Each structure stands twice: as C-alpha cells, then as structure tokens.
Amino acid sequence: MAQLWGGRFTKKTDELVYNFNASITFDRKFYEQDIRGSRAHVSMLAKQGILTREEAAVIDEGLASILRDVREGTLAITEEYEDIHSFVEAVLTERVGEAGKKLHTGRSRNDQVALDMKLYVRDELDETRELLVRLLDAVLTIMKENTHTFMPGFTHLQKAQPVTLAHHLGAYFEMFRRDTERLTDIRRRMNLCPLGAGALAGTTYPLDRAYTAELLGFDGPTRNSMDSVSDRDYVIELLSAFSTVMMHLSRFSEEIILWNSNEYRFVEIDDSYSTGSSIMPQKKNPDIAELVRGKTGRVYGALMSILTTMKGIPLAYNKDMQEDKELTFDAIDTVKGCIALFTGMLCSMRFNKEIMERSACRGFTNATDAADYLVNRGVPFRDAHGIVGRLVLTCIDRGISLDELPMEEYKKESEVFGEDIYEAISLKTCVEKRMTYGAPGPEMMERVIREYEDYMRQNRKTAAEGGHENE
C-alpha cells in the first residue's frame, strides 16, 4: 500500500477497502497526461518563485525520466500505488530526493485528476476526429466514382424510388460530417484548464493559472474552482457524441450486412474483412459489421452510466467521479477501433453495380415518375396516383415491370399516355430528372461533391495550421 496520506490515521486501511478505493489499475492509462500536467505545474511554481529554479529543474528532469522509462517499458506502473498520481510522486521522490516532495505544492489530486482526464479526453478527441476525417475521405472517394451507379432507394425497407450509390453514401457523409463537427464543438467548450482549482477552493499560493493553461494548450483557466473539480460535462458530451457516431456506424453496418447477404448481393465484403464458420464450409460472414453494430450498445451504456453517476453528486469533488474513467476509456477505445475497422472494410468492399442497377429496375421504383408523367399532361395528381396504382396491379399479375407493359394496357387506364412514357420512366430519366438541391440527379450530385471536397480541403487546412495544438 503506497498512498499519499495517513498522518491523521491511527489504523491501517483495511486491504479490501484499499483495493476498492484504488484506481491505479485504470488511471495508469493517462500517465503521459499526468506527467505533462505536473511539468507545467512545476514550471509555473518556479516562475512564481514558489519553488526555486534549481528545484524545478531537478523535478522536471525526474519527471522526464519517469515518462521516458514508462514509455520504454523499463519502469512498470505497479499496483502497490493507490493511483497514478501517487506512483509518479513516489518514484520522483525516490529518484530526485527531497525536491520531489515539493511537486504537490499548491495542488490537490482533485484538480490534478480533473486536468489529467481533460487532457486525455482532448487528446483522444483529436485522434477520433482524425479517424472520422479519414472515414469521410473514404466515403467521398466512393461517391465520386458512383454518381451514375443506379440503385433502389428504400423506405420501410421496400423499394421506393431510384437513387444512386453516390447519393445513398452522401447521406452517411452528412452524418459523419455532423459527428466531426460535434467533436470540434465539444473541444472548444471544454478547453479551459482546471489546474490551480486546488481541492475545491483555489489556493493561497500566488499561482499563475493563465500561464499553466497556456503551457498545456488551453484557451485559459476555468472560472470557478468548485466547478473545475466537479465538472464532467465534457465526458458526457463526448460520450453522447460517440453514441451518435456509433448509431451512424451501426446503421451503415446494418445496411452493409443486408447488402452483403445472398438475397441482395449489392456488395461483397473483402475476404480480409470477413470470417468463416467452423461447421459450414460455404460461409463468409460479415462479423466486423456485426461487431460494430453490437458494440454500439456498449458505448450507449457508458453514456447512461456517467449520466447516472453524476446526477446525485453534491458540490464539489466526490469519489463517485472516479467512476468516469473505465467507461470513458473503454468507450474511446471502442469508438476509435470501430471507425478504423469500418473504414478499412468500406475501402476494400466491392460494389456489384449491375446487381444494384437491376434491382432498381424492379419493384416499381418508377411508379411515381409514371404518375408525374400524367400530371405534366394535366391529370390531377390524385387521379394519376390511382391510374398508376391500377397499372402496377396489372404488372404484378403478369409478373412484368412498368417498362414492359404494352401501350394498349396504358391506354386502357388513360388516353393521355403516349409512346414517350417509356422514355419518361426509364431508370436513367428517373434519376437524371431529380435535380433539386440535395437530390440524386448526377449533375446535382457532382455539385454537392465539389462542396464536400471544399469542406475536406478546409478541414485539412485547419489541421495543417495546427488548429488543435496541445502544447
């Protein structure tokens, strides 16, 4: 048992209590952030004359050596320490002696852990955003190649009207774009530094909080010390945004699973992203898409869990908040893994364009266009709807499509029909005439794709200009 406190205790901590309370098994995950925060803190203490320059230099070197050794695997973070903060301080003191004991001057583990968690979440948020941008790139690449790939659009999972593959994937581009922007938004709101808030009421040392905030890449210090140590809104916002990312990935996965089935055969998932069966030799299963869909529940669970944990906590810090870590770490690893794998699966997937197009020709996806043909020739839409409905029924009876229905059948329902009906309801016309902004008409789609390309360029430019630098 290595802990930072004990002076006022007359008994040893019960072992079960110690283990129940300890967080080292999981908070060791943010040792880098803990050390980064401590180095900024020490640099500020020296600047303010609270520590001497020499003491600060010794501590900083010690911290740098711990960071290096843990990274290289020569120093293990073992479970005899209560938490990562105790570990770092204990090893530091072992290595540099007396000066190490001054590290915690003007600081509490409450503002320290609030900082570590924020730094960790911010780092991971940036990485997740990067992965989303890569996914957007992958979607856009497929879109560009498929503005003329016709496929059925569905409502109620019934064929509805023809669209293109570019248009269908464009819907996912929009979703992932909103996800990306949500992360940017969260980052902006969370980017205030809690260090210096102390246990809850600040400190009496003349800390320069703006300085540490700047060193750590924050826009400034947090404005209320009690809120600083008890705010986990950004965790909730992150998990909420992540839940939405997973919901989108899950919907897309569901479609890919359907499309990859023997019944659809719209796509074929690459062998490298498929799995087999131990008993049925013919099987090639879409396990990756299923796992992404399945893991969505786990991320939703994390969101529910943190919301519930936070709801009864009085100000300021309470130990309940230690529960934020494992679920957040798990959700982050899950979401990052899912986005990366999904992107790989998508890039290597084969689209069976002929099958998609053939499918679009069946199922009366051009019935609305047949009705619109009549409307354009003066028939009220409601009457046109009835006429075409009856024609569809005839086609179903005879097992043919509207394109194959002979002219006399058309004429039986309405004299307005002429030979040009076949041209008007051809798949090509049906899609190409859909030219309103946001519709699948290839010309319109190409315009929207150009806008997406501008958006991606802007994204890359912001990233290159160090839009989110951390240190």
Compare residues 285 and 322 and give the one whose CB is closer to ligand ARG.
Answer: 322
Q: Tell me if 321 contacts ligand ARG by CB under 6 A.
A: yes
Helices 442-464, 109-145: crossing angle, 10 deg rounding: 150
Compare residues 117 and 335 and give the one whose CB is closer to ligand ARG.
Answer: 117
Q: How far is the CB of 127 from ligand ARG (least distance, A)?
A: 22
Q: Tell me if 109 contacts ligand ARG by CB under 6 A.
A: yes
Q: Tell me if 89 contacts ligand ARG by CB under 6 A.
A: no
Compare residues 83 and 369 and give the one whose CB is closer to ligand ARG.
Answer: 83
Taking CA atoms, 470 is separated from 32, 217, 322, 467, in Å, by: 13, 5, 24, 10
Q: How far is the CB of 83 from ligand ARG (least distance, A)?
A: 4
Provide the token pair at 330.
Answer: 């798990």
| Residue showing the smallest CB distance to ligand ARG in the complex | 322
Set 65, 86, 148, 156: catalytic member = 156
Q: Tell me if 230 contacts ligand ARG by CB under 6 A.
A: no
Known active-site residue 156: yes
Q: Tell me if 371 contacts ligand ARG by CB under 6 A.
A: no
The answer to whether 451 and 458 have CB atoms below 8 angstroms apart is no
Rounded CA separation 202/198 (Å): 5
Rounded CA separation 295/291 (Å): 6
Q: Tell me if 318 contacts ligand ARG by CB under 6 A.
A: no
Count residues contacting ligand ARG (CB under 6 A)? 10
Compare residues 113 and 216 and give the one whose CB is closer to ligand ARG.
Answer: 113
> Residues 6 or more apart from 295 whose CB is under 8 A from it?
246, 334, 338
Compare residues 149 and 230 and give the one whose CB is closer to ligand ARG.
Answer: 230
> Residues 6 or more apart from 211 whose CB is under 8 A from it?
44, 47
Compare residues 87 and 150 and give the one whose CB is closer to ligand ARG.
Answer: 87
Q: How far is the CB of 319 from ligand ARG (least distance, A)?
A: 6
Compare residues 35 and 46 and give the one whose CB is closer to ligand ARG.
Answer: 35
Q: Tell me if 105 contacts ligand ARG by CB under 6 A.
A: no
Q: How far is the CB of 199 from ligand ARG (least distance, A)?
A: 7
Site string for ligand ARG, 4-23 (x = CB under 6 A): -------------------x
The answer to whether 118 and 194 have CB atoms below 8 angstroms apart is yes
Residue from 3, 93, 105, 322 binding ligand ARG (CB under 6 A): 322
Q: How far is the CB of 226 from ligand ARG (least distance, A)?
A: 14
Set 277, 305, 348, 414: catalytic member = 277
Work out whether the CA dihedral 322, 326, 331, 333 comes out positive or negative: positive
> 54-83: which residues touch ligand ARG (CB under 6 A)?
83
Stretch of residues binding ligand ARG (CB under 6 A), selected from 143-151, 202-210, 252-260, 313-321: 313-321
Stretch of residues binding ligand ARG (CB under 6 A), selected from 105-113, 139-147, 251-259, 372-380: 105-113
Helices 109-145, 324-348: crossing angle, 10 deg rounding: 10
Stretch of residues binding ligand ARG (CB under 6 A), selected from 109-117, 273-281, 335-343, 374-382: 109-117
Burial class (CB in 10 A: 0-12, 13-18, 19+), 442: buried
Rounded CA separation 391/267 (Å): 32
Q: How far is the CB of 43 from ligand ARG (least distance, A)?
A: 22
Q: How far is the CB of 37 from ligand ARG (least distance, A)?
A: 13
> 19-48: which residues touch ligand ARG (CB under 6 A)?
23, 27
Known active-site residue 278: no
Q: Tell me if 110 contacts ligand ARG by CB under 6 A.
A: yes
**Closest alpha carbon to 365 in 438, 267, 431, 266:** 431
Rounded CA separation 314/219 (Å): 28
Stretch of residues binding ligand ARG (CB under 6 A), selected from 57-65, 108-116, 159-167, 307-315: 108-116
Catalytic residues: 156, 277
Site residues (vs ligand ARG, CB under 6 A): 23, 27, 83, 109-110, 113, 317, 319, 321-322
